[in-house]
Chains A and B, each alone.
Chain A
């Protein structure tokens, strides 16, 4: 496992390693590994603490001084954590899966369509429109937060609202409200456009000779050739939605539709916190992201390295 990962293509090639001469494997190198391993241990420590802590019963998790390993393993924490929030943790996980997959799916589709138009098709005002789209990356979250809340709440003709958005609650407290804002992300369009532009023009000419329309070309040629870029957009979209807290907190009221990060609040409220159960919940909520990251970390880290993209 170790060697397999270590020789993965992300590792910069041997030529770079020659910056340090071969003769210098000395005290310095040993010290460096020491520092880096100690640092990594500190970074990973909360995860280790979470894993072992999730098997401690309430007496042990409140014991002082604490121990790393539980004396009696108590896996029932997972059952208790699952049953603790209203409608069980499963309901929140299902909500998050829904929001993250549907939101990310629509996001990738919409962004791919737009990026394709901006890279391949010709229409009047294209470059101006692209500049406008890019300009939205500079609009910060603190500015859009409150107006978007009001927009969702007063969305015309929905949720009991009249044509002018008065009377009802609009899209407030719906899945759509959690998905809609932030669905596009101009940066994603930019990223996909860059990927689409690398596809040689000859492919397009050949496809046209074969009677392929512009949508067929997108579906059969462009998308299959751009899987890494699409994957990068999808991973960032999924993880952002899975970890998101503020927007769902603001825009929903019903526990039955809230995502998984909001369930975490139910584990916090007690006078004597059952930290073992809290850790079991944290682990169940975090594990999907860790697995996803470990499976796709090449796309993930290369996506950041090549673009400076922030998740």
Chain B
């Protein structure tokens, strides 16, 4: 019993207690300590002004919370499917086709996952620099138009249309047109860092496929494509399902890459989420309220609980939608 005590005390204080304490804080206007009790006031603000508000022209506009939620969804939708698809293709090629150098290749793909930090994000900031970045130099060499990347608040879709037609469509709102160019850079960075983890998980799944199944399919005259489509893919659906859920949760909780890459672009000192708040995800929005705004700790706690419920809801929906399509051996 004594052996469990240290672990138990720390888990109680820093894992269990916070669930209740977070709810408690969210019922207050709170700075360093509690200021005054507001009951459900923070939640009312979150769900009313947070979703629909009025701008300086007194016209209806998207509220802060809804705005950050849309940004988060763009980030997740841009990051998760691309990561999983790339990881599956690369893991399949590595596992089935590569005999020599598999470990070396795996190590190379995995390296960004362990070095994922502020330090390495700065390398990306240089590569995608608007003025001197190597990405723009490459585009120029290929005869393509350059972009200002992390400084560009316009949606990628509008930029592409502008490149193709010479004019940018004005009729639809920027927020409705998908992630901004800056967010696309953050998505690229996130895919780069998380790809290795996904490949390794897929490799573990592929290793567990019984060889006899593939041999049997080959005996029956199946070619590689049929084996991939009818044998390998169904047998790794549990892995895909796990990765879908893990990556979605990871995307909704992401903070570091956005903070580090946009720190100088947001509003005020140390503000992240720029340019023009087009990378202001819910986590960055919580951080902003918690850390930079006065007396908004209680409100930030309310948003944190809201984010948790969103993630929980998404996970339940994914289970409902996909668990029937998962084949267990």
- Inter-chain contact A133/B11, CB cutoff 8 Å: yes
Give 1 or 0 for each of B222-264: 1 = CB within 8 Å of chain A CB.
0010000000000000000010001001100101100110011
- Inter-chain contact B102/A246, CB cutoff 8 Å: no
User: Are A111 and B7 also in contact (CB < 8 A) when A6-B100, A146-B290 are?
Assistant: yes
Give 1 or 0 for each of B288-329: 1 = CB within 8 Å of chain A CB.
001100000100110011011001000000000000000000
- Inter-chain contact B123/A301, CB cutoff 8 Å: no
Name B13-71 residues within 8 Å CB distance of A: 13-19, 21-22, 25, 30, 32-33
- Inter-chain contact A245/B18, CB cutoff 8 Å: no
Chain A's interface: helix, strand, loop or mixed, by majority?
A: helix
Say if the beta carbon of A39 comes within 8 Å of chain B.
yes
Give 1 or 0 for each of A133-148: 1 = CB within 8 Å of chain B CB.
1001001111111111
Name A2-26 residues within 8 Å CB distance of B: 2, 5-6, 8, 10-12, 15-21
Give Cα A293–Cα B308 distance, bound, in whole angstroms: 32
User: Are A143 and B308 also in contact (CB < 8 A) when A66-B134, A133-B8, A308-B242 are?
Assistant: yes
Which of B6, B112, B129, B259 is the one whose CB lies under 8 Å from A246? B259
Minimum CB–CB distance from B102 to chain A (whole Å) comes to 6
Which of B14, B18, B102, B140 is the one whose CB lies under 8 Å from A180? B14
- Number of residues from A at the complex interface, CB < 8 A: 106
Give Cα A83–Cα B260 distance, bound, in whole angstroms: 22
Most buried by A among B3, B33, B106, B301: B3
- Inter-chain contact A66/B304, CB cutoff 8 Å: no
Write the chain A residue with the least CB distance to B114.
Answer: A293
Which residues of A have CB within 8 Å of B301?
Answer: 146-147
- Inter-chain contact A147/B17, CB cutoff 8 Å: yes
Write the chain A residue with the least CB distance to B189.
Answer: A46
Write the chain B residue with the least CB distance to A260.
Answer: B119
Say if the beta carbon of B204 comes within 8 Å of chain A.
yes
- Inter-chain contact B25/A146, CB cutoff 8 Å: yes
Give Cα A141–Cα B224 distance, bound, in whole angstroms: 43
- Inter-chain contact A40/B297, CB cutoff 8 Å: no
Write the chain B residue with the least CB distance to A54.
Answer: B123
- Inter-chain contact B103/A6, CB cutoff 8 Å: yes
- Inter-chain contact A183/B10, CB cutoff 8 Å: yes
Report the stretch among A71-79, A199-207, A223-231, A262-270 that lies at the interface: A262-270
Name A236-283 residues within 8 Å CB distance of B: 239, 242-243, 245-246, 250, 260-262, 264-265, 267-269, 273, 275, 278-279, 281-282
- Inter-chain contact A110/B297, CB cutoff 8 Å: no
Which of A11, A17, A145, A282 is the one whose CB lies under 8 Å from B103? A11
The number of inter-chain residue pairs (CB within 8 angstroms) is: 283
Write the chain A residue with the least CB distance to B218.
Answer: A21
Write the chain A residue with the least CB distance to B112.
Answer: A43
Chain B's interface: helix, strand, loop or mixed, by majority?
A: helix
Which residues of A have CB within 8 Å of B90?
Answer: 36, 39
Which residues of A have CB within 8 Å of B300?
Answer: 146
Say if the beta carbon of A211 comes within 8 Å of chain B.
no
Which residues of B have CB within 8 Å of A209?
Answer: none
- Inter-chain contact A294/B101, CB cutoff 8 Å: no
Name B169-194 residues within 8 Å CB distance of A: 192
- Inter-chain contact B200/A304, CB cutoff 8 Å: yes
- Inter-chain contact A64/B109, CB cutoff 8 Å: no
Give Cα A220–Cα B98 distance, bound, in whole angstroms: 43
Give Cα A61–Cα B297 distance, bound, in whole angstroms: 42
Which residues of A have CB within 8 Å of B307?
Answer: 142
- Inter-chain contact B132/A150, CB cutoff 8 Å: no
Which residues of A have CB within 8 Å of B163?
Answer: none
User: Are A147 and B107 also in contact (CB < 8 A) when A19-B96, A140-B308, A279-B123 are?
Assistant: no
Say if the beta carbon of A99 comes within 8 Å of chain B.
no
Which residues of B have CB within 8 Å of A53?
Answer: 123, 126
Minimum CB–CB distance from B76 to chain A (whole Å) comes to 15
Give Cα A120–Cα B4 distance, bound, in whole angstroms: 12
Say if the beta carbon of A297 comes within 8 Å of chain B.
yes
- Inter-chain contact B211/A117, CB cutoff 8 Å: no
Name A295-311 residues within 8 Å CB distance of B: 297, 300-301, 304-306, 308, 310-311
Which residues of B have CB within 8 Å of A118?
Answer: 4
Which residues of B have CB within 8 Å of A90?
Answer: none
Say if the beta carbon of B137 comes within 8 Å of chain A.
yes
Give 1 or 0 for each of B89-125: 1 = CB within 8 Å of chain A CB.
0100111111111111111111111111111101111
Instruction: Sample 28 A-B pairs with CB under 8 A, ordered by A number.
Output: A2-B104, A16-B207, A21-B218, A36-B90, A61-B132, A66-B133, A139-B19, A140-B308, A143-B308, A145-B290, A146-B290, A147-B18, A148-B14, A150-B30, A153-B32, A184-B7, A242-B117, A243-B116, A250-B290, A268-B122, A269-B264, A275-B129, A279-B126, A282-B122, A285-B119, A293-B115, A301-B200, A305-B207
Question: Which B residues have a C-beta under 8 Å from some C-beta of A?
Answer: 1, 3-4, 6-8, 10-11, 13-19, 21-22, 25, 30, 32-33, 90, 93-120, 122-127, 129, 131-134, 137, 140-141, 192, 195-197, 200-201, 203-204, 207, 211, 214, 218, 224, 242, 246, 249-250, 253, 255-256, 259-260, 263-264, 283, 286-287, 290-291, 297, 300-301, 304-305, 307-308, 311
18 more contacts with CB within 8 A, not counting A286-B120, A301-B106, are A2-B104, A5-B104, A6-B102, A37-B105, A39-B109, A65-B134, A113-B6, A114-B7, A114-B8, A144-B15, A145-B304, A146-B300, A147-B301, A250-B290, A268-B125, A269-B264, A275-B126, A282-B122
Counting from the closest, the 6 A-B pairs by CB-CB distance are A147-B18, A114-B7, A147-B21, A117-B3, A305-B204, A65-B137
